[in-house]
Amino acid sequence: MVVLSQPVVENFAHIKTCMPTSNIFTEIPVVDLLDPDAKTIIVEACKEFGFFKVINHGVPTEYIAQLEDEAIKFFNLPKPEKEKSGPPNPFGYGNKKIGLNGDLGWVEYLLFSTNPELFSQKGKFILPGISESFWSIVNEYVSAMRNMACEVLEMIAEELKIGPRDILSKLLRDEKSDTCFRLNHYPPCSELQALSGRNLIGFGDHTDPQIISIIRSNNTSGLQIALKDGTWVSVPPDQSSFFINVGDSLQVLTNGRFRSVRHRVLAGSLNSRISMIFFGGPPLTEKITPLPSIMEQGEESLYNEFTWYDYKKSAYGTRLSDDRLGFFEKSFADKSKKRSI
């Protein structure tokens, strides 16, 4: 169990709450990476849920444990120490404020770019609260996540028969890949639970903008995903497995065949949740458009053409729960025309 010092009762008045749901996601697709049928299960899961769990992943447990220990050490530091690495712009330490447009959650976090140019200046780390050893553990972990994300993307390319095996994974292997990494800590909040039976929203509902995200957490629940019909279901935690999300960019690259999954995190009343998320993104100049090899004869793109830079620029101007992809859908112009009549 994670031992984190209890937070002082802080003001949670501006943070949204919701009733805990009893819906447990029991049909969660489980992908055994050593199973020869893994690629079929992955593609089915990406179409139906945009989400699945990975077991037999081969990531050494010591990488995971070391990183979790470092994260706990960091989040246990006194507030002024942690704040030396903030406020996030968008990288760095953040507390409750998510993004730049007024979103709040019961969470503190560290957000990193995995591109060292953004973090080191002549070998000196820009985030003062982050030691070199912490940084090197993050690097080891991120490179294990990149390998796993690429393996999954290669299985997808094979199963969909969309040309070279690396047609998707090369976007993450590119040295200019715009990938980021996040450590989240959701302190428990027993007071609210006792007062109202409600849970604080740790991280509000959203889709991830990138191609693919890999979530790993300790054994504390909180992650929920929305099914196609909009029902929220709770994902049972499993500290030895990884959970994979389809991001907006992969939805576009597959012309809507895969579903970018809406998800959120509820803070618990008893235990801290610690999560680490790898967000695999393409280079900024990459055009995000349906892969020509996936399109059937006569099929049209559902989206206007844009680069990852265009998408990110637009995404950073939105609130967490906004439909970011909506602005780029071809039907968006028609929808807004109809609305104004």
Ligand X SMILES: O=C(O)CCC(=O)C(=O)O
Q: Which residues are catalytic?
A: 273
How far apart CA 266 and CA 272 sit, in angstroms, is 11
Q: Is 234 helix (H, G, I), strand (E, B) or coil?
A: strand
Q: Does the footprint of ligand L4NPZUNZ cover residue 321 (CB under 6 A)?
A: no
- Residue placing its CB nearer to ligand L4NPZUNZ in the complex, 42 or 98: 98
Q: Does the footprint of ligand X cover residue 233 (CB under 6 A)?
A: no
Token digits of residue 132: 């070199």
Report angle CA 215, 72, 266 to the nearest 5 degrees. 50
Site size toward ligand L4NPZUNZ, by CB under 6 A: 17
Q: By rule CB under 6 A, what string of x and - marks binding of each residue 104-133 to ligand L4NPZUNZ?
A: -------x----------------------
How far apart CA 239 and CA 149 sit, in angstroms, is 18
Q: Does the footprint of ligand X cover residue 260 (CB under 6 A)?
A: no
By beta carbon distance, the residue nearest ligand L4NPZUNZ is 99
Check residue 111 and give left, alpha or beta (phi > 0: left; psi -120 to 50: alpha): beta
- Judged by beta carbon distances under 5 to 8 A according to partner kind, the member of ligand L4NPZUNZ, Fe ion, ligand X, none in contact with residue 275 is ligand X
Q: Does the footprint of Fe ion cover residue 248 (CB under 5 A)?
A: no
Site size toward Fe ion, by CB under 5 A: 1
By CB under 6 A, the residues from 192 to 231 that bind ligand L4NPZUNZ are 206, 208-209
Token digits of residue 82: 């942690």
Cα–Cα separations (whole angstroms), residue 167 to 51, 145, 154, 238, 324: 21, 18, 8, 31, 25
Q: Does the footprint of ligand X cover residue 265 (CB under 6 A)?
A: yes
Q: Which amino acid is at 189?
A: C
By CB under 6 A, the residues from 258 to 317 that bind ligand L4NPZUNZ are 279, 315-316
